[in-house]
Amino acid sequence: MKTSLWRAVLVSLAASIAPFAAHAQLDSCSLALSNAAYSGPVDTESAKLRCDLERAALIRNRATLFYGGETNSLVEIIDTASPSGAAYVYNVLDQNGTLSLDARSVPDGKGMRCRLRATLPDDTANSLSMLLASAADPQLPDYGPREEVTLNPDGSRTVRLVIESHDVITRAQTPGGTRQFSRHAGSDDPINRLNNLVIGFANVSPAWDCKAS
């Protein structure tokens, strides 16, 4: 069998196995969360973060299967459930002082595979650098509260607890070292603002290249 044919078979097998691996990991997460529930809120939040990091790893691995690997990034944001139904991986890369974005859609099964490669404008890059400095604050929790924050016309905020969370997992190279975070997409703190800055730039970019899977 030719090498290219073997590669196609392996890719097909990996794609078919991924959902079963995801289910197994989520089951192990459910067990870990059940055990942590008896140990207090701090342990519970640590267990939830570990579960989210495992979910993010599955999406990252699937993106690598579709698009190939990436170099180490300054920021990695994994949106586990975008409105389109696909997950997305956003990597901000520092190339000799110039920040660029490599964003990839990760459909669950067959669907459009879209990729964006673009240089961040100076104002966006400067805002990102300031938010990374804020992300180094040790008072900033790794696993954020599951709250939906709405800004009212009078400038006040309405905060509502959510049961079903739209999770966004972030890995950031901060001035204090590498940190990993999990946030509900509708929350509001420096990590969520960092996520929204990068995702918002990608959403309005005309440079997406899409192909049917």
Task: Name every residue whose Cβ is closer than 8 Å to that of residue 200 and which is 6 or more positions away in sequence.
Answer: none
Confidence of residue 157 (pLDDT cuts 50, 70, 90): confident
Distances (CA, A) of 178 to 15, 91, 169, 170, 181: 30, 14, 13, 10, 10
Q: What is the pLDDT of residue 109?
A: 77
Q: Contact at 8 Å (CB) between 76 and 57? A: no
Report pLDDT for 74. 96
Domain spans, the chain: 3-212
**Average pLDDT score over residue span 158-186:** 93
Residue pLDDT, tens place only, 101-145? 999 999 987 778 999 999 999 999 999 999 999 999 999 999 999
Tens digits of residue pLDDT in 32-63: 555 555 555 556 888 899 999 999 999 999 99
Is-contact 126 145, C-beta < 8 A? no
Pairwise pLDDT comparison (8 vs 80), residue with the higher score: 80
The yes-or-no verdict on residue 94 having pLDDT over 90 is: yes
Mean pLDDT value across the chain: 83
Q: How far from chain centre, in Å, is Cα 124?
A: 19
Of the ranges 5-14, 20-29, 125-134, 142-151, the best mean pLDDT one: 125-134
Top pLDDT among 8 and 63 is at 63
What is residue 110's predicted lDDT score, i.e. its pLDDT? 77
> What's the pLDDT band for 155 if we cut at 50, 70, 90?
confident
